């Protein structure tokens, strides 16, 4: 047999048509406030968004100085769960921090 494999049965077919869309991603965003302690925000970001101390600190400072900051991009159901868990965590700890999602 020659070296060339002309069979096609293990090839991957990729499409970019309207029939096979990637799920839309949503931005999960934290909002600034004047009361939630910075160290609480950093720990919350590390826990819920799996960020390192350095990454979480940078995100917290973005929120503090810019008014809001991006924590991550997720499919809708994951984003909804993150928003719910972050807001619940903040409220249970007595802090007014707010988390929301936006379609990307």
**Which residues are near ligand TYC by CB under 6 A?**
30-34, 36-38, 41, 60, 63-64, 97
* Residue with Cβ nearer ligand TYC (24 or 52): 52
* Residue with Cβ nearer ligand TYC (61 or 73): 61
Please report how close the Cβ of residue 60 comes to ligand TYC at its closest, in angstroms: 5
Closest C-alpha to 31, from 88, 77, 103, 83: 83
| Tokens describing residue 52 | 């390192």
Q: Identify the three-state secondary structure at position 95.
A: coil
Please report how close the Cβ of residue 41 comes to ligand TYC at its closest, in angstroms: 4
* Residue with Cβ nearer ligand TYC (63 or 74): 63
Burial string for 63-72 (b: 16+ CB within 10 Å, else e) reads beeeeebebb
Please report how close the Cβ of residue 23 comes to ligand TYC at its closest, in angstroms: 27
| Tokens describing residue 38 | 């910075």
């Amino acid at each position: 047999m020659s070296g060339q494999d002309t069979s096609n049965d293990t090839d991957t077919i990729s499409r970019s048509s309207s029939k096979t869309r990637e799920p839309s991603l949503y931005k999960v965003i934290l909002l600034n406030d004047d009361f939630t302690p910075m160290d609480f925000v950093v720990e919350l970001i590390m826990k819920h968004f799996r960020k390192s101390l350095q990454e979480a600190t940078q995100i917290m400072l973005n929120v503090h100085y810019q008014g809001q900051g991006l924590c991550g991009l997720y499919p809708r159901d994951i984003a909804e769960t993150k928003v719910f868990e972050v807001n619940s965590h903040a409220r249970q700890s007595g802090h007014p921090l707010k988390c929301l999602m936006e379609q990307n």
